[in-house]
């Protein structure tokens, strides 16, 4: 999602606040998932990596566990 359009696009693609939303990045230098997660947070969504871990969901990738306790 382009940075300036993130909140508007987030509201369009996931208008149900009870729905599960997963954001991800394209590689180690991509920050789009952080931008998208911040847009969803501004709309009232909660969770992040900490919420994912507390729900007992698995992380995939060699760096995944390093950030498991921090919100996205």
> What residue spans define the domains of the chain?
3-57
Q: Is 65 helix (H, G, I), strand (E, B) or coil?
A: helix
Confidence of residue 33 (pLDDT cuts 50, 70, 90): confident
For residue 38, the surrounding DSSP H or E stretch is: helix 32-42
Joined together, the tokens standing for residue 63 give 């760096």
- How far apart are alpha carbons 1 and 53 in whole angstroms? 24
| pLDDT tens track for 43-58 | 888 777 888 888 888 8
Total H helices, total E strands in the chain = 3, 0
More confident residue, 63 or 18: 18
Angle at CA of residue 20, ends 5 and 10, nearest 5° = 10
Whether the full predicted model's pTM is greater than 0.75, yes or no, is: no
């Amino acid at each position: 999602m382009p940075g300036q359009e993130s909140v508007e696009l987030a509201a369009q693609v996931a208008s149900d606040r009870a729905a599960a939303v997963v954001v991800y990045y394209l590689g180690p230098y991509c920050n789009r998932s952080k931008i998208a997660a911040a847009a969803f947070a501004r709309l009232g969504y909660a969770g992040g990596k900490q919420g994912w871990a507390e729900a007992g969901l698995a992380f995939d990738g060699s760096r995944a566990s390093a950030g498991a306790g921090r919100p996205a």
